[in-house]
Chain A
Amino acid sequence: MGAKPQAMIDQNRQHEPETVPAPAVHPSYLRVFMTFAHNSLVRDMTFRSNFLIECVTSLSWMGLNLGYYLLIFRFTDSIGEESGWGEFQYFVFLATTLFVNSIVQALFMPNCEEFSELIRTGGLDFALLKPIDTQFLVSLHKINWSALANFFFALGLLGYSVVRLPELPGVAQVLLYPGYVACGVAIMYSLMITLAATSVWLGRNQSLYNFWFYITNFSRYPMEIYRGPIGGPLQWVFTFIVPVLIVVNVPARLMAKPLEAQSWPLAVFGLAAAAGSLWFSRWIFTTAMGSYRSASS
């Protein structure tokens, strides 16, 4: 609730009787989220054909992408010399990319797109007046269920690839994998909500959305490919400043490659990067809300 402008809170207080304290409202975030999910599903099922077409088209897109990499592996055994990213290791990487992207697209993408419009049109006033955390509300109120089609595609691809790896992953790797996928989702969400929140200052930020798409494009390939006088600095920037290279690389490496001593610093850094990104995005969001001056009449 710290995200609400002070003027609005003061205005609300004027209407409260002085002797009776306002009852503390503690909404159940899980129940609210389940309601959002249910409502979104009802809306999606109202247009079933559209839902099915969206699922089929995104699966076709993934199928053709997979075809592209299958074609590449007709000409090479690995991506990078002795990088360890052979065909099936790379497909684990691809499946991880799909997991992260499908979750981000299902949960956050439609909301963050709408968030900029809410700021521009002044519709955010209604969200600020609700007795629930504004960031939670604007981040999760709509769920794009059809984006999860790729999640199931990724499950199939992961299962198919893992059993073909030269060395099967251990129990620890399998248990840690979902946690690191969640860290990847957290980093992507942080980047997205940060860019969306900047609409408060910029008015409109269509270019910034393109920027998000182009920046996250770097996360789609193993970090080993970024080498040389340009690749080296890029790898550093996208690992330590805008940690998009951590998003897929850490969980995919954990699953596809044998655990080695030198993998652990990156794994620990992955956790720190996720926590740091969430903290930073929260700070930007609350600062942006402090600067929000309703655009409605």
Chain B
Amino acid sequence: MADFHSSMHGSAAALPRRNPLHTWWTILRISIEERLIYRGDFALGTLMRFLPLLTQIFLWAAIYQAVHPRETIAGYSYHEMVAYYLLTQISRAFSSMPNLASQIALQIRNGEIKKYLIQPVDLIGFMFLMRVAHKLVYYVVAFAPFALVFFLCRDFFSGWPDATTMAAYLASLVMAFLIGYFLEATLGLVGFWFLEVSSLLFIYMLFTFFFSGHMFPLDMLEELGGPWATIVRVIPLQYLAYFPAAVFLGKIQGADLAWGLAMQLFWVLFFIGLCRLTYYLGVRRYSGYGG
């Protein structure tokens, strides 16, 4: 298949070439238009997604009442805790990639992936643009529900962070998106070896939910003792939810912030490399039959 792939690329080169940027721009534009069809469902779904957050707010209010309303838990006051949960919603809006891995695995299983091997379009790049389009439309449509919820909860925040923190926060969100995309794409590409990856995806989802900081601030694990805190600091999942939220709240500053951003960049590059390598090796072992 790899030889066929390269020969097709060879013949494509003989055709008059279009500006590659134009091709990518067309893919992005079509993907955006496709996504906008379901904008009503998007907005409603986004607003509903805050309902579990409401129960978390009540749960933590009850916990802080039992401890003492002015006490802190793992360095978080009640207001900071609620702000943290709100901010993880933004982190996850960047880093979560619904259906990406399963979609890639399905395309490998049903042979649809052949079209990327015979057309001069790169699978990972194509999917990336589709995901960028998905996210751009999501942010436009979800802006109103997000703004409403954050406005209603504005008292939980002590104000806007300074310019440096804000820049670091935005950089961490963009890198959270990149880690989320390339990590999940890699998981989907495992489909070249195991046709069914749903169990693997469930395990990933399970670990992400608990160890990305989506469920609770990872600082709580510091007081637990044992290896847990060290493990979650070493694995890259914290950059999907915890890290951007903690940066915004000023929990990570100075040298720790610089180190955290550098580590996040390392994981971005690591997963780009891993994703490319997995795709390269996967295509080499892939066999496609029939029409």
Q: Which residues of A contact B (CB under 8 A)?
A: 53, 57, 60-61, 64, 67-68, 71-72, 74-81, 83, 206-207, 210-211, 214-215, 217-218, 220-222, 224-228, 230-231, 234
Contact B59 A71 (CB under 8 A): no
Instruction: Tell yes or no: B74 within 8 A of A by CB.
Output: yes
Which of B48, B220, B224 lies in contact with A207, CB distance below 8 A? B48
Contact A210 to B45, CB < 8 A, known contacts A53-B199, A60-B206: yes
Could you tell me the distance between the alpha carbons of A234 and B59 in the complex, rounded to whole angstroms?
14
Complex Cα distance, B226 from A67, in Å, reads 14
CB 8 Å contact bits of B55-74 with A (1 = contact, 0 = none): 10011011101110000011
Tell whether, in the assembled complex, residue A217 and residue B66 are in contact, meaning their CB atoms are under 8 Å apart.
no
Interface size in chain B (residues, C-beta < 8 A):
31
A64 and B65 form a contact (CB under 8 A): no
Selected from B62, B63, B74, the residue in CB contact (under 8 A) with A224 is: B62
User: Which of chain A's residues have a CB closer than 8 A to the CB of B49?
Assistant: 214
Instruction: Let me know if B147 is at the binding interface, CB within 8 A.
Output: no
Residues on B with beta carbons closer than 8 Å to the beta carbon of A214: 48-49, 51-52
| Bound complex: CA A170 to CA B65 (Å) | 31
B223 within 8 A of A: yes
Q: A81's closest neighbor in chain B, by CB?
A: B65
CB within 8 Å for A80 and B62 given contacts A68-B216, A71-B220: yes
- Interface pairs A-B: 6 shortest CB-CB: A80-B62, A214-B51, A225-B62, A81-B65, A225-B58, A76-B66
With contact pairs A57-B206, A207-B41, A214-B48 given, residues A75 and B59 touching in the complex (Cβ less than 8 Å): no
Contact check, A61 vs B206: say whether CB atoms are below 8 A apart: yes
A207 & B59 in contact (Cβ 8 Å cutoff): no
| Residue in A closest to B69 when the chains form the complex, CB atoms | A81
Task: Report if B15 contacts A (CB, 8 A).
Answer: no
Chain A neighbourhood of B221, CB < 8 A: 71
Q: How far is the CA of A210 from the CA of B216 in the complex (A)?
A: 23
Q: Give the chain A neighbours of B61 by CB distance below 8 A.
A: 225, 227-228
> In this assembly, does B203 line the interface, its C-beta being within 8 Å of a C-beta of chain A?
yes
**Contact between A217 and B220, CB atoms less than 8 A apart:** no
15 pairs, CB–CB < 8 Å, chain A vs chain B: A53-B199, A57-B199, A61-B206, A64-B209, A68-B215, A68-B216, A74-B220, A75-B63, A79-B63, A80-B63, A80-B65, A217-B55, A222-B62, A225-B58, A234-B54
Tell me if B281 counts as interface (CB < 8 A to partner A).
no
Question: Does B151 count as interface, using CB distance less than 8 angstroms?
Answer: no
Q: Is B44 an interface residue (CB 8 A)?
A: yes
Q: Are B66 and A220 interface neighbours, CB within 8 A?
A: no
Q: A217-B51, A217-B55, A231-B58 are in contact. Are A71 and B224 (CB under 8 A)?
A: yes
- Known contacts: A80-B65, A207-B45, A211-B48. The answer to whether A57 contacts B202 by CB under 8 A is yes
Residue pair B203, A57 in contact (C-beta under 8 Å):
yes
Chain A residue nearest to B48 (CB atoms) is A214
Task: Given A57-B202, A68-B210, answer yes or no on A79-B66 (Cβ-Cβ < 8 Å).
Answer: yes
CB closest residue in chain A, given B221:
A71
A214 to B55, CA, bound (A): 10
Given A60-B206, A207-B41, A211-B48, verify A74-B55 contact (CB < 8 Å). no
Chain B minimum-CB-distance residue to A56: B199
- In whole angstroms, how far apart are the Cα atoms of A214 and B49 in the complex? 8
Contact A221 B206 (CB under 8 A): no
Of B58, B66, B199, the residue contacting A221 (CB under 8 A) is B58
A218–B67 touching, CB < 8 Å: no
> Which chain B residues numbered 213 to 264 have a C-beta less than 8 Å away from chain A?
215-216, 220-221, 223-224
Contact A79 B224 (CB under 8 A): no
In whole angstroms, what is the CA distance A79 to B216 when docked? 16
**Chain A residues, CB < 8 A from B199:** 53, 57
Closest to B58 in A: A225
CB under 8 Å from chain A, chain B span 48-106 = 48-49, 51-52, 54-55, 58-59, 61-63, 65-67, 73-74
Complex Cα spacing A201 to B45, Å = 20
| Complex contact A75–B206 (CB within 8 A) | no
Q: How far is the CA of A227 from the CA of B59 in the complex (A)?
A: 10
Question: In the bound complex, what is the Cα–Cα distance between A134 and B54 (angstroms)?
Answer: 37
- Min CB gap B63→A, angstroms: 5
Complex contacts, A78 vs chain B, CB 8 Å: 66
Q: Hey, which chain B residues are within 8 Å of A76, CB to CB? A: 63, 66-67, 73
Q: Are B59 and A225 in contact (CB under 8 A)?
A: yes
Closest to A49 in B: B199
- The CA-CA distance from A206 to B221 in the complex, in Å, is 37
Which one of B41, B54, B62, B215 contacts A79 once the chains associate, using CB atoms below 8 Å?
Answer: B62
In angstroms, Cα B186 to Cα A244, docked, is 40
- Extra pairs beyond A220-B55, A222-B62 (14, CB < 8 Å): A64-B209, A68-B215, A75-B73, A78-B66, A80-B63, A81-B65, A206-B41, A210-B48, A214-B49, A215-B51, A217-B52, A221-B55, A225-B62, A230-B54
